[in-house]
Structure formats: structure tokens, C-alpha cells
Amino acid sequence: MTFKPAKPIKPTKPHLNRPNPSIIMAANYWDSTQAKYWTFTRTELATLRSDLATANAPLHAKYPLPDPRHLSIYFQTQFAKLGKRMTFRQQAAATAQIYIKRFYLHVEARKTNPYLILATAAYLACKMEESPQHIRLLMQEAVRTWPEIGVQDTSKIGECEFALISTLSSRLILHHPYRALLELQGTLGLTSEESALAQSIINDSYNTDLALLYPPHVIAIAAIFLAVVLRPAHPAGLQVHSSSAMPNMGTPAVSGSAAQNAMSQNALAGFGFRQSPQKMSKLVDWLAESKVDVDAVVDATQEMVSLYECWESYNERACKEAITRIVRDAVK
């Protein structure tokens, strides 16, 4: 596979109003390449994807793909399967998912071997998150996880890694919502159940474009809002559906069982307003004082609710068959 390096993009960010950094996150996010080059508006994302689709119209006609969110869910479950074999951390899996989203903004997925991209993103993300995996071991486990990958030579991961780094313009350091969540647990008086549920929602957020649209603290606050204000009437409801395939930050490994069980659950069926008036008042007061972009939090919350509705029609087999058709032709 041959890829051209992507041209740097410096999007406009009218929604990135800086809140008080001492309240919710480290100030260095605002000076990061993530904030400067990899945070977009919805219009910018739509334009990038539309241009890519127009330039590859014949491939789009030949290889139809499911809803992008379904593909993201599929990729996440595949990371869970690979992670279960290799015991890499949740943050590495989240980083890999963002690398893939960024990569496919500039490279047509139908021109690639998605399983090789998944393996390479995992390899690179583990290095960046200081939990490196041996390239030979990762290749072996990737072949066991995806026999249809069609390659076994470790040099292919090396070649693909170069293409990935080049396409991402070597801007690889990421800021995740987990840190903001940890900082806000005490401030907002979250229970252990609410914190765990919020973390599961953050895991699920990587199946959306939120990481490309908003700063990490906005995603964390939206997750807290869903976990606290719109708590499921049955505690198992959202948490079981959510991709707890990616465990809490306190546990080192990625496990695949919960995500597979989640597919049959109704994420929204049990939602109800169960927050205490005191906690609700505390959350509203904190939002007002923190100068957080409330519109962004609302939009992120709506995006997550939309994801869980979309999740109900997720079909893993359809995603696998679509990817297999692409891989089969890619390795010929």
C-alpha cells in the first residue's frame, strides 16, 4: 500500500473557549497538536469525507460499507479481541482508535487492508502510551485474531507504521477524557458506580466523532451528565450496553466479553431522571462557574444518545463481511 502524506490542516475552532484549566484539565492541551490540528467543526469533517468519497466514487460503489459508527463499533470489538490476547491498556486502545479515525480522514479505507491498519495502529499506540508490544508477537496475534488479514510478514507492519505516522504528520500525542474524569470525581462527588459508568461512556465515545470535535474535558463532562443526570432506571442498562469491553483505567488489560454481550441490550430503554436535587444543583452550579461551553456539552450528550440508538441496529456479521471483501482484494 502506498499513501501520500496528508497536508497539515489547521481548522477553525470557534467552540474551543478555554475554561479555567485549574478546574478541569491540564492547560497544555490548548497548546497541543490535537487542539491545533486535529480538532474540527462538523462542517470541516463533512467536507473532508465528502471530498474523499467523491475522489473514490467507483470504490464506494464497488465496496459499500455500513454506517461509520457501526464500523467504529466493529473496530473497537476487534481491538478488544486483540487486547485480550496481548493485555494492552485501555488508553492504548483508545489512542489506536483515534489514529484510525484521523488516518481515514485522509486515506480511503477501501484502498487499504483495514485489519493491517488496526494491527499497526495498536502497535504504534502501545509505543506512544509507553506500553510497547513486540512487533513479531503482535503480528502473530493479529493473524490469529484475523486469519483473513492475508499477511504474516512483520515488515508489513513496519511499512504501514511509516505510512500511518506520515499521514498523521507525526502528530501522535493525545489527550484523553479519562484525566478530566478523574479530576472531576471528587469535585462533583461522583459515586463509584457513576464514575465507572461515565468511564464506560467515554470508552463508547470513541465510536463517534467526538474526539475530533471537542476537547477531552467536554467529552468527560458529557459522560458525567449521562451517568448522573440521565442515570438508567436499571443500573445494568447503559453500563452493560456500553463498551465495557474496554475496562476501567484501574485495570491494565482489555477484555472482549462485555462488548459481545452488549449487542443484545437496549441502551436507552431504562433511562430515567434519577439524580438527586442536590447533585443536580451542584453539577449546574459547577458548569456555570467553570465557563465550560455548555452548547458543546449538550451536543456531545446528544451524540452519545444517538450512538446508543444506532447501536441497536449494529450487525457484526455485516461489518465483517464488508471488511473481508476489501481485504480479499487488497491482498491479491
Q: Which domains does the chain have, with CATH numbers?
A: 61-174+316-330 (1.10.472.10), 177-311 (1.10.472.10)
Q: What is the pLDDT of residues 195-216, one digit of tens each?
A: 999 999 999 999 999 999 999 9
Give the pLDDT score at 291. 84
C-alpha cell at 144: 490469529
Q: What band does 86 get if pLDDT is binned at 50, 70 and 90? A: confident
Q: What letter represents residue 198's amino acid?
A: A
Query: Looking at the predicted structure, is the pLDDT value of residue 261 above 50?
Result: no
Q: Average pLDDT for residues 131-144, to the nearest whole number? A: 93
- Cα distance between residue 63 and residue 260, in whole Å: 26
Q: What is the pLDDT of residue 230?
A: 67
Output the average pLDDT for the chain. 82
Q: Are the C-beta atoms of residues 91 and 129 closer than 8 Å to each other?
A: yes
pLDDT in tens, 299-321: 999 999 999 999 999 999 999 99
Full DSSP string of 256-293: -HHHHHHTTS-SSTTB-----HHHHHHHHHHHHHHT--
Q: How confident is the model at residue 283 (pLDDT cuts 50, 70, 90)?
A: confident
| pTM (global) more than 0.85 | no
Q: Tens of pLDDT along 241-259?
A: 445 444 444 444 443 333 3
**Contact at 8 Å (CB) between 269 and 305?**
no
Q: Which positions ≥6 away from 18 have C-beta within 8 Å?
A: 30, 291
How far apart (Å, rounded) are the C-alpha atoms in residues 71 and 66?
A: 7
pLDDT at 85 over 90: no
Encode pLDDT of 98-128 as tens digits. 999 999 999 999 999 999 999 999 999 999 9
